[in-house]
Amino acid sequence: MSNVGILNHLSSSPFINGVNIAVEGTGTAEDTGIFNHTSCSPTMIGVIALVWGGELNVGVYNYSNSSPLIDGANILVLGATGADYGVFNLFSNSVTIRRSTISGDSDALFNTSSLDSRP
């Protein structure tokens, strides 16, 4: 079971400004504040994301050629029984982060092109 605050899918590119996101997981849930899935390029300004509980947590998950702009964000990810990542980039290498505070109990920023490492 997964909990997602905002899902951008298949080339969506919304402007997300001043949004507060709180996602709480329980049990074996995989929890994500913002999930950019497949070629998404959202502009995220002043976003606050808090993700906690569950088994695996990600503040902003960028998958498959997603290239968001994250500016002035506060992302806090904690309390999973497994791993906590602030920003997790899988097959996404054009992510821009400016003037942001990002924290994850496991890693604040994690980049990979290997499916073996995905959350």
Rounded to two decimals, the pTM is 0.95
The pLDDT of residue 99 is: 98
Q: What are the distances in angstroms from CA 87 to CA 53, 82, 103? A: 17, 16, 9
| Burial tier of 54 (Cβ tally within 10 Å: 0-12, 13-18, 19+) | buried
The answer to whether residue 42 sits within a structural domain is yes
Q: How many domains does the chain have?
A: 1
Percent of the residues in the chain that have a pLDDT greater than 70, as a whole number = 94
* Whether the predicted pLDDT of 106 surpasses 90: yes
Residue 114 placed within a domain? no
In a domain, 118, yes or no: no
pLDDT at 117 over 70: no
Q: Is the pLDDT of residue 114 over 80?
A: no
Separation in Å, CA 105 to CA 80, 101, 102: 8, 14, 10
The verdict on residue 116 lying in a domain is no
Query: 79 and 58 in contact (C-beta within 8 Å)?
Result: no
